Chain A
């Protein structure tokens, strides 16, 4: 599978300060979250990939095209939804999106047709003849999304797409992002400081800290890995059940009131625990998978050693993970 983005010792200096410091990574997922505290270089990375800032060292490739030499071809493949307000207030919504579509190279009639489609798609169909300047914040965010997808890009950069949205609008935005990811074949780079948004939409996360890569991991792999850890609460627990569990290869620590923490071997199926319980007439009243949340991953990355390069290391092992 061709990498979506390849970073190769990418370095960017702005105003005499190093903002991105020798980033190396190969990103292949369909939806990648870009995480990091304020000032970590998330927006700078996006702006550099868009060609707004020239790299001071190294380079980056998007779908195999070099940002230094193929900027125009790259831009024809991407859609960009900026973080801040970005629109032409005096234009009606539909005209604004059509304008952007034509600037992306769509012929006039196609641009008009697709502007309408994009507006209905983001749920602003009935508001499309209002001036963008009169839109609410949520509507402006949706209009920004419409202009980013109107020309059918292959890669979508979303910079803090849920900024300032109320809970229902945020849910709508996240649903749209998931739908775009799943049904329209677009790759998505989602930059956000809201871990929940990234967790709900992305398969992989690239965590930046101080202009360097702190972690790059596949969330699904992380979740799978964490299924090995479970907590159970039993009724009628007896030593036979405990022995049976240990014979299955589990590491087991019994607590009070029939509660236990288990570390399962990699090949073990959950069904085997239920079978052992049934055999020893033990009721399992509660079973919790202790899943590692993105917050745990993020906090570990913030505490851990920086990892400037994650080159060809598999995503789930690329970061500076601590023990679980």
Chain B
């Protein structure tokens, strides 16, 4: 029967499970977001580094490259110098860290694009009571919105990184895997930490700043202007604690540690050129997450109480 001929009737059908109902939010959000060709193009562009990395892994593990490395090993060139394979022609923690660093930048851009309008759109016309008057809690709402960003960021961080890891494991064999199995944990932990920090921050900004452009600008300020203040602080006070205001630096500091990368900063440099301890980076990022949660908790209410 044509829909316009049908009348309204009571509903007596089945209901979806309560614990997976939050997934309605990301499903609707993603279908709206990917109607934008610009966003879709950008999203696909973020996979380009993965293709390059996959090609690199293939190259490093290809029989011809391996044969070349083996043939050169221990031989001498015409000048009597020993030939060795280049140090960059390996797939190790440093390789995956650099891959994540590139993806982290894409993550920031994607978050700054998608995130600011995520909650503010519901605040703009006071739609929150409609969500919360249903069998849908504030936690469900937040989880749904979190999944929108975290799901997108996952597809460009740990998912492709783990695929690359699996590819390298299958091509490098057991020998490589037994030496580098910890990289999988580092990929997961490092990616998830960045995803959580970015997502919580942008959700908090979106909840407090209702104008999307202003919210995007605030994200840029947090990631690019505030670190400038940190550097000024370092210069004036001859310290390195100002780096704690630089979220990008903090995540790279943690990744350095997780991926067991060599410290490029030489000892004996002035304090402002030395790294902050890893624990302080963890502490600040944890604080940012908790602060964002607190801000969201203050704002995500069906009704404001005017005092």
Interface residues of A (CB under 8 A from B): 14-16, 47, 50-53, 72-73, 75-76, 78, 80, 82, 84-91, 95, 99-100, 102-107, 110, 113-114, 116-118, 120-121, 125, 133, 147, 149, 151-152, 157, 184-185
Q: A76-B15, A88-B125 are in contact. Are A118 and B302 (CB under 8 A)?
A: no
Are A103 and B7 in contact, CB atoms less than 8 angstroms apart? no
Secondary structure class of chain B's binding surface, majority of residues: loop
Are A120 and B305 in contact, CB atoms less than 8 angstroms apart? no
Q: How far is the CA of A88 from the CA of B306 in the complex (A)?
A: 24
Q: Which of B46-54, B132-140, B265-273, B275-283 contacts its partner?
A: B132-140
Name the 10 nearest CB pairs between A and B, nearest first. Answer: A152-B11, A105-B15, A15-B307, A121-B8, A80-B133, A52-B302, A116-B3, A76-B135, A152-B10, A75-B135
Residues of B contacting A99 in the complex (Cβ-Cβ under 8 angstroms) = 24, 28
Q: A53-B303, A121-B8, A151-B11 are in contact. Are A82 and B16 (CB under 8 A)?
A: no
In B24-45, which residues have CB < 8 Å from any A CB?
Answer: 24, 28, 32
Counting CB contacts under 8 A, is B264 at the interface? no
Q: Which of B13, B133, B303 sits near A110, CB closer than 8 Å?
A: B13
Residues of A contacting B291 in the complex (Cβ-Cβ under 8 angstroms) = none
User: Interface size of B by Cβ–Cβ distance < 8 Å?
Assistant: 39
Q: A80-B129, A85-B126, A107-B13 are in contact. Are A120 and B6 (CB under 8 A)?
A: yes
Are B16 and A106 in contact, CB atoms less than 8 angstroms apart? yes
Residues of A contacting B16 in the complex (Cβ-Cβ under 8 angstroms) = 102, 105-107
Can you give 18 contacting A-B residue pairs, CB < 8 Å?
Answer: A47-B303, A50-B133, A52-B129, A52-B132, A72-B135, A76-B135, A86-B126, A86-B129, A87-B125, A88-B122, A91-B32, A105-B134, A116-B6, A117-B8, A120-B6, A149-B8, A151-B134, A157-B133
Are B28 and A104 in contact, CB atoms less than 8 angstroms apart? no
With most chain A CB atoms within 10 A of its CB, the pick from B24, B32, B307 is B24
Are B306 and A15 in contact, CB atoms less than 8 angstroms apart? yes
Interface residues of B (CB under 8 A from A): 3-4, 6-16, 18, 21, 24, 28, 32, 121-122, 124-127, 129-137, 301-303, 305-307
Q: How far is the CA of A110 from the CA of B10 in the complex (A)?
A: 12
Q: A90-B121, A99-B28, A110-B13 are in contact. Are A82 and B3 (CB under 8 A)?
A: no
Q: A52-B302, A116-B3 are in contact. Are A82 and B126 (CB under 8 A)?
A: yes
Are B7 and A121 in contact, CB atoms less than 8 angstroms apart? yes
Q: A76-B15, A121-B8, A185-B10 are in contact. Are A100 and B130 (CB under 8 A)?
A: yes
With most chain A CB atoms within 10 A of its CB, the pick from B14, B16, B127, B136 is B127
Q: How far is the CA of A50 from the CA of B136 in the complex (A)?
A: 12
Residues of B contacting A80 in the complex (Cβ-Cβ under 8 angstroms) = 129-130, 133
Which single residue of chain B is at the shortest CB-CB distance from A107? B16
Which single residue of chain B is at the shortest CB-CB distance from A186? B10
Which single residue of chain B is at the shortest CB-CB distance from A19? B305
Are B131 and A103 in contact, CB atoms less than 8 angstroms apart? yes
CB distance from B140 to the nearest CB of A (A): 9
Residues of A contacting B307 in the complex (Cβ-Cβ under 8 angstroms) = 14-16
